[in-house]
């Protein structure tokens, strides 16, 4: 299995994976347009030409980034793919000089096991709320917020 930056040819498979979880209300859906626009944020885990996982590091400010769309295909869970994808995002954030990384998630336990701490969403800077305004669940957000200092 190989972790790498996403390519244009990956985007439809990435969207399929993310939206499978969105249908079960375990993630927020992502449009093709959004994924193409944010391709430089995306990492994928590829195994024998198939996308087994995805994650994104989205920079919001000079000291703040967000982990987005972290998903691992059903048959590939429990193999460390999620941990590897999270670690590569955190490594990139550190290399860029980002001091804090947060996630809004339905799986806070995963992040807590990886050194994140729970945080009240109201403690996050107003800068993040621009994306929230486009969310179908706004203003009734039911995701948990987690953050890590790096």
3-class state of residue 18 by DSSP: helix
The average confidence (pLDDT) of the chain is: 90
CATH class of 2-149: alpha beta
pLDDT at 129: 53
pLDDT band at 122 (very low <50, low <70, confident <90, very high): confident
Query: Is pLDDT above 60 for 131?
Result: no
* Dihedral, 70, 111, 66, 136 alpha carbons, nearest 10: 60
61-78 residue pLDDT tens: 899 999 999 999 999 998
pLDDT at 137: 55
CA distance 86 to 11: 19
**CA separation, residue 25 to residues 37, 42, 49, 136 (Å):** 23, 21, 27, 12
């Amino acid at each position: 299995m190989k972790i790498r930056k996403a390519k244009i040819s990956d985007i439809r498979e990435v969207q399929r994976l993310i939206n499978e979880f969105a249908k079960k209300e375990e993630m927020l859906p992502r449009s093709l347009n959004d994924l193409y626009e944010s391709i430089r944020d995306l990492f994928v885990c590829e195994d024998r030409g198939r996308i087994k996982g995805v994650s994104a590091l989205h920079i919001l400010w000079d000291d703040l980034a967000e982990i987005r769309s972290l998903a691992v295909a059903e048959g590939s869970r429990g193999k460390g793919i999620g941990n590897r994808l999270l670690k590569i995002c955190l490594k990139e954030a550190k290399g860029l000089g980002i001091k804090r990384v947060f996630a809004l998630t339905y799986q806070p336990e995963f992040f807590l096991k990886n050194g994140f701490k729970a945080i009240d969403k109201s403690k996050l800077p107003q800068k993040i709320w621009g994306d929230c305004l486009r969310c179908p669940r706004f203003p009734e957000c039911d995701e948990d917020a987690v953050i890590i200092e790096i």
